[in-house]
């Protein structure tokens, strides 16, 4: 069975052992290169089609109660979520933003499509409160059981500067969010029985059951575990990011401020169908 890796787009490997050998040979270099870059997660898609994901944010918060920390008159963009294998083969784990959030209090912008031009600023740092919350996957538009640790912005609706973004938020248009980031701590996890790669296998075995879409990871047989990253200046409203579990949370009530009420079973079925479509999409990337 031929194997292709995103890290080596011009190579075709005979099997996973050969592919893993290439990863291990270049592991330190790949980590060094990845940690040296400033990533805009929306750009990590590398041109892949995102059409299977574009309906996800329509289901934000449905089927779950509005959290007590959600206030009326505010919008809560989910900038990033953990324990999710994204289209670039990365999995962010809980605690990834702890140090960076402390260092960036009052410094983070909310912008359009990672642009730091004045015209593209949605909210200024003094109006953006950033924090991490444990939320159910359903609140991030996913059908998975359990919770994810979400990096969230809290922004008063009255402080949304960008007219286009305000309209998107008021009309609850289909959109996602994305983080500009730099990796700090990352490790290669591989599902291999080779004694030469025992540490990578241990990491894989220790983390695989934490990942919401672990069945996709099992087919991929490896992932990059990201345990710490820096937020670099901003989080963005985008059409689609590499992590599509990043919609907005609104308070209940006024249409310009709130999410829809709890779903009926038909919408639960729709979520399950979307999950199947997503899984099929990822299989095509591997």
DSSP per-residue string spanning 83-128: S-B-TTSEEE-TTTTHHHHHHTTTT-EEEETT--SGGGEEE-GGG-
**What are the Cα distances from residue 161, in Å, to 79, 169, 179?**
18, 12, 19
Q: Is residue 262 part of a domain?
A: yes
- Which own/partner pairs from 254-260 qualify as long-range (CB within 8 Å, at least 24 positions apart)? 254/72, 255/170, 255/172, 256/157, 256/169, 256/170, 257/72, 257/73, 257/74, 257/75, 257/157, 258/66, 258/72, 259/60, 259/61, 259/62, 259/66, 259/172, 260/61, 260/62
Q: Is residue 1 part of a domain?
A: no
- pLDDT at residue 46, rounded to an integer: 44
Give average pLDDT by consecutive 10-residue segment, the chain, 286 residues: 91 95 96 91 48 38 76 96 92 98 97 96 98 96 94 97 94 91 97 95 98 95 97 94 89 46 45 56 47
- pLDDT at residue 243, rounded to an integer: 87
Give dist(CA 162, CA 237) in Å, integer.
Answer: 11
**The total number of structural domains that make up the chain:** 1
Q: Is residue 29 part of a domain?
A: no
Structure-block tokens of residue 122 = 């949605």
- pLDDT at residue 30, rounded to an integer: 96
Give dist(CA 17, CA 8) in Å, integer.
Answer: 15
- pLDDT at residue 251, rounded to an integer: 78
Give dist(CA 101, CA 99) in Å, integer.
Answer: 6
Give dist(CA 118, CA 2) in Å, integer.
Answer: 48
- pLDDT at residue 262, rounded to an integer: 36
Structure-block tokens of residue 3 = 């194997």
Give dist(CA 234, CA 63) in Å, integer.
Answer: 30
Task: Determine the structural domain holding residue 134 and report its residue range.
Answer: 38-285
- pLDDT at residue 59, rounded to an integer: 40
Q: Is residue 26 part of a domain?
A: no
Beta-bridge mates of residue 223: 189
Q: Is residue 112 part of a domain?
A: yes
Contact yes or no for 181/34 (Cβ under 8 A): no
**pTM for this structure?**
0.82
- pLDDT at residue 254, rounded to an integer: 46
Q: Is residue 27 part of a domain?
A: no
- pLDDT at residue 265, rounded to an integer: 45
Listed in sequence order, the DSSP H helices in 187-248 are 198-207, 214-220
Give dist(CA 184, CA 256) in Å, integer.
Answer: 38
- pLDDT at residue 24, rounded to an integer: 96
Which segments of the chain are extended strands (E)? Answer: 3-5, 8-13, 39-40, 74-81, 90-92, 109-112, 121-123, 129-136, 147-156, 176-190, 222-238, 248-250
CB atoms within 10 A of CB 146: 11
Q: Is residue 28 part of a domain?
A: no
Q: Is residue 189 part of a domain?
A: yes
């Amino acid at each position: 069975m031929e194997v292709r890796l995103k890290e080596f787009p011009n190579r075709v490997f005979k099997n996973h052992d050969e592919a893993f050998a290439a990863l291990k040979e270049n592991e330190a270099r790949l980590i060094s290169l990845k940690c040296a870059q400033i990533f805009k997660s929306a750009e990590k898609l590398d041109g892949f089609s995102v059409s299977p994901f574009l309906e996800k944010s329509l289901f934000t918060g449905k089927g779950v109660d509005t959290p007590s920390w959600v206030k009326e008159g505010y919008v809560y963009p989910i900038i990033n979520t953990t324990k999710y294998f994204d289209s670039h083969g990365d999995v962010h784990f809980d605690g990834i933003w702890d140090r960076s959030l402390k260092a960036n209090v009052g410094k983070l912008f909310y912008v359009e499509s990672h642009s730091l031009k004045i015209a593209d600023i949605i909210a200024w740092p003094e109006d953006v409160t950033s924090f991490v919350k444990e939320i159910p996957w359903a609140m991030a538009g996913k059908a998975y059981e359990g919770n994810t640790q979400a990096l969230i912005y809290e922004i008063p609706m009255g402080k949304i500067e960008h007219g286009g973004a305000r309209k998107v938020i008021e009309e609850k248009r289909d959109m996602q969010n994305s983080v500009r980031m730099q990796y700090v701590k990352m490790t290669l996890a591989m599902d291999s029985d080779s004694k030469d790669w025992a540490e990578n296998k241990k990491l894989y075995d220790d983390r695989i059951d934490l990942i919401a879409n672990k069945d996709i990871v099992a087919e991929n047989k490896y992932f990059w575990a990201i345990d710490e990253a820096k937020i670099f200046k901003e989080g963005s409203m985008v059409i689609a990011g590499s992590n599509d579990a990043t919609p907005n949370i609104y308070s209940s009530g006024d249409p310009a401020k709130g999410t829809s009420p709890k779903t009926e079973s038909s919408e639960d079925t729709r979520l399950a169908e979307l999950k199947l479509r997503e899984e099929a999409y990822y299989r095509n990337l591997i």
